[in-house]
Structure 1
Amino acid sequence: MAKVRGAIVVNTQICKGCEVCVPVCQEKVIGISSDVNRKGYHYAYMKNPEACNGCTNCGTVCPDRAIAVYRVKVAT
């Protein structure tokens, strides 16, 4: 059976660092960067990419639609 790995891509220029995505990620994949975007916001990023399963919770709750979620089947 194939395993699913996920990945998120955060549009760092749109993200306002509201942190709504952080608690909904059950795998603890998302963190908030210490860097800032051009508007001065600390943005979300994948701090633990190996744990992402592509569940889409973060993309669903993002009020600015700054997160895109991708899934890839990986042979086990």
Structure 2
Amino acid sequence: MAVIKIKENYCKGCLLCLPVCHNNSLVVSTTINEQGLHPIVFKEGSVCDGCKKCAIMCPDVAIEIYT
């Protein structure tokens, strides 16, 4: 199992990572980050298998995956 870290203040909420996550482990946060945007967060109780597709897709390099 991999560990995912999302730098919420880097995320602009472009949602490009959502469709590439085959585990549906990412959701839009209900809170607002420092930029005034709703960032992506890792859904509690979800599993990350470390495929890194979301990190590759992120234009802001806001997602880090540790395996």
Q: TM-score range by the shorter chain?
A: over 0.9
Structure 1 residues 25 and 10: alpha-carbon distance in aligned structure 2, compared to 1, 3 A threshold: same
How far 1:50 moved relative to its partner? 3.6
Q: State the distance in 2 between where 1:49 and 1:58 align.
A: 18
> 1:27 is paired with a residue of what secondary structure?
coil
Which consecutive segments of 4 or more residues in structure 1 shift more than 4 A?
none
Cα root mean square deviation, aligned: 1.1
Larger Rg belongs to: 1
Partner of 2:62: 66
Which residues of 2 match residues 1-76 of structure 1 at below 5 A?
A: 5-71=1-67
> Percent sequence identity over matched residues?
36
The number of aligned residues is 67
- Which consecutive residues of structure 1, in runs of 5 or more, have no partner in the other structure? 72-76
TM-score (norm. length: structure 2): 0.93
Of Structure 1 and Structure 2, the greater helix share is in: 1
- Which consecutive residues of structure 2, in runs of 5 or more, have no partner in the other structure? none
TM-score (norm. length: structure 1): 0.82
- Measured against aligned partners, the alpha-carbon deviations of 1:15-60 in whole angstroms (never above 9, x if no partner) come to 0011100000000010110101011110011114542101100000
